Amino acid sequence: MARSELVIFIKRELSKGKDPVSIRQHLMTQNIDRQSIDEAFDSIFHVHTNSAHEKFMVIGIVIALIIFVGSGIMFYFDAVPTHSTGPSSIIDNHPVPANIPEELKIDSICGIENSEERYSCFVTHFENKDLECYQIQDSEERDFCYRVFDWYALSA
């Protein structure tokens, strides 16, 4: 049977109310090759098979998406630190002169235990401009000095 005759036959049988499966089985019993039957049904039901070009486009889009996501992941891990060094002392963020003359070195500046009074003492020295934190020898008091200086500088 020619393809056009096969299409006409299938359409006629469908219009009679027969289902496509029984029509296909009937045609197979008539020794009509499966490819011709499939092509006839495809033309009737307007089935569009994917061309190689469409498959290539889908594959290309998937690959581009994988590259895009992979780049984003790599950028994220490059931008975010992967390890923590723990809290750093505020002293680490302030420059210290290499050679401090002995006459400028200070053992303790305020000697007060109460934090608020100690803070006020340091602020007074900052306002009088007679103290640089790097002069203080005791590391804890120097750290406190830098913290007070930062708060003083932010509030000024």
pLDDT of residue 121: 85
- Mean pLDDT, the chain, whole residue set: 78
Q: Percent helix, strand, coil in the chain (nearest 5)?
A: 65, 0, 30
More confident residue, 6 or 131: 6
- 24 close to 37: Cβ distance less than 8 angstroms: yes
State phi, psi for 87 to the nearest 5 degrees: -70, 135
pLDDT of residue 103: 56
CA distance 51 to 131: 80
pTM of the model: 0.34
pLDDT of residue 92: 53
pLDDT of residue 83: 53
pLDDT of residue 15: 92
Share of the chain above pLDDT 70, in %: 76
pLDDT of residue 66: 94
Given a cut of 80, whether residue 102 has pLDDT beyond it is no
> What is the rounded average pLDDT of the residues 56-77?
89
- pLDDT bin (cut points 50, 70, 90) of residue 49 is low
More confident residue, 137 or 100: 137
Residue 109, burial from CB neighbour count under 10 angstroms (0-12, 13-18, 19+)? buried
pLDDT of residue 104: 56
Q: Which amino acid is residue 31, in one-letter code?
A: N
